């Protein structure tokens, strides 16, 4: 084998190595993107939606107690419900929040603080004030739940885009391997016209 042929083979092998390495790095990046998207959907969207649901349930308990003038709720259940509410809000604050979500969450915290202030200072006397404050809290919870849906949809789009890119490069790799195998066959079986050896 001549030096030129050795250089040719070495360059061919190096080219295949570079192509395989490049596609592997691209695939690794896309797999990471897909993995992050799935993780975000669960940790920051599904868990957040569940926390919003739990908060909404607690607020609903308060609303029922106010409408039915249930003073026993205020004496025995309101304080534990407020502790649960604080715990859910703390957990929610640890999820990854978008800018809009952070803004709405700050408003929710303010509205809940105002609601608790009304509970401590007005008792069951001013139902309309309580119900008005509960309506604000419910609206914030509704708005935050809609953001979960929007962000989940966005994460699904990101994961689908990563999956499509992975499929594209996988198909490209298969086509490249077929072309390289054909090229190798041509190189192996090609006999120049001037070659008289059989």
Mean pLDDT of 148-174: 79
Domain assignment of residue 198, yes or no: no
Q: What pLDDT sits at residue 175?
A: 80
Contacts of 77 (CB under 8 A, 6+ apart): 61, 65
Q: Is residue 193 part of a domain?
A: no
Other Cβ atoms less than 10 A from the Cβ of 3: the count is: 7
Of 190, 129, 150, which Cα lies nearest the Cα of 44? 150
The answer to whether residue 195 scores a pLDDT higher than 60 is: no
More confident residue, 162 or 62: 62
Distance of CA 47 to the CA centre of its chain: 11
Q: Is residue 92 part of a domain?
A: yes
Domain assignment of residue 52, given as a range:
3-188
d(CA 105, CA 97): 9
> CA 106, 111, 117: angle at the middle one, nearest 5?
130
Reply yes or no on whether the pLDDT at 159 is more than 80: no
Are 145 and 47 within 8 A, CB to CB?
no
Residues ≥6 apart with Cβ < 8 Å to 138: 56, 59
Question: 45 lies in a domain?
Answer: yes
Neighbours of 58 (CB within 10 A): 20
Q: Is pLDDT larger for residue 23 or for residue 143?
A: 143
Report the share of the chain in percent with pLDDT over 70. 81
Number of domains observed in the structure of the chain: 1
Report helix, strand or coil for 23. Answer: helix
Q: What is the pLDDT of residues 67-125, one digit of tens each?
A: 888 878 878 888 899 999 999 999 999 888 889 999 999 999 999 998 888 777 766 66
Q: What gap in Å lies between CA 155 and CA 86, rounded to an integer?
A: 28
Question: Does residue 124 fall inside a structural domain?
Answer: yes
Q: What's the distance, CA 144 to chain centroid?
A: 15
pLDDT for the residue 117: 84
Query: How far is 81 from 77, CA to CA, in rounded Å?
Result: 6
> What six digits make up the tokens of 29?
């990046």
User: Minimal CA–CA distance to 123: which of 73, 55, 80?
Assistant: 73
């Amino acid at each position: 084998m001549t030096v030129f042929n050795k250089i040719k083979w070495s360059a061919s092998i190096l080219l295949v190595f570079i192509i395989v390495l490049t596609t592997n790095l691209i695939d690794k990046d896309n797999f990471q993107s897909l993995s992050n998207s799935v993780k975000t959907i669960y940790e920051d969207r599904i868990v957040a939606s569940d926390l919003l649901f739990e908060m909404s349930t607690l607020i609903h308990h308060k609303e029922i107690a106010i409408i039915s003038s249930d003073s026993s709720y205020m004496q025995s259940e309101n304080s534990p419900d407020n502790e649960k509410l604080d715990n859910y809000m703390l957990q929610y604050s640890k999820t990854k929040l978008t800018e809009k979500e952070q803004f709405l969450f700050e408003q929710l915290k303010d509205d809940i603080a105002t609601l608790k202030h009304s509970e401590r200072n007005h008792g069951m006397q001013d139902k309309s004030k309580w119900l008005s404050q509960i309506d604000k809290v419910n609206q914030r919870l509704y708005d935050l739940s809609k953001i979960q849906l929007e962000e989940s949809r966005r994460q699904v789009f990101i994961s689908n885009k990563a999956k499509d890119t992975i499929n594209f490069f996988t198909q490209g790799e298969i086509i490249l391997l077929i072309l390289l195998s054909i090229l190798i066959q041509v190189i192996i079986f090609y006999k120049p016209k001037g070659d008289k050896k059989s």
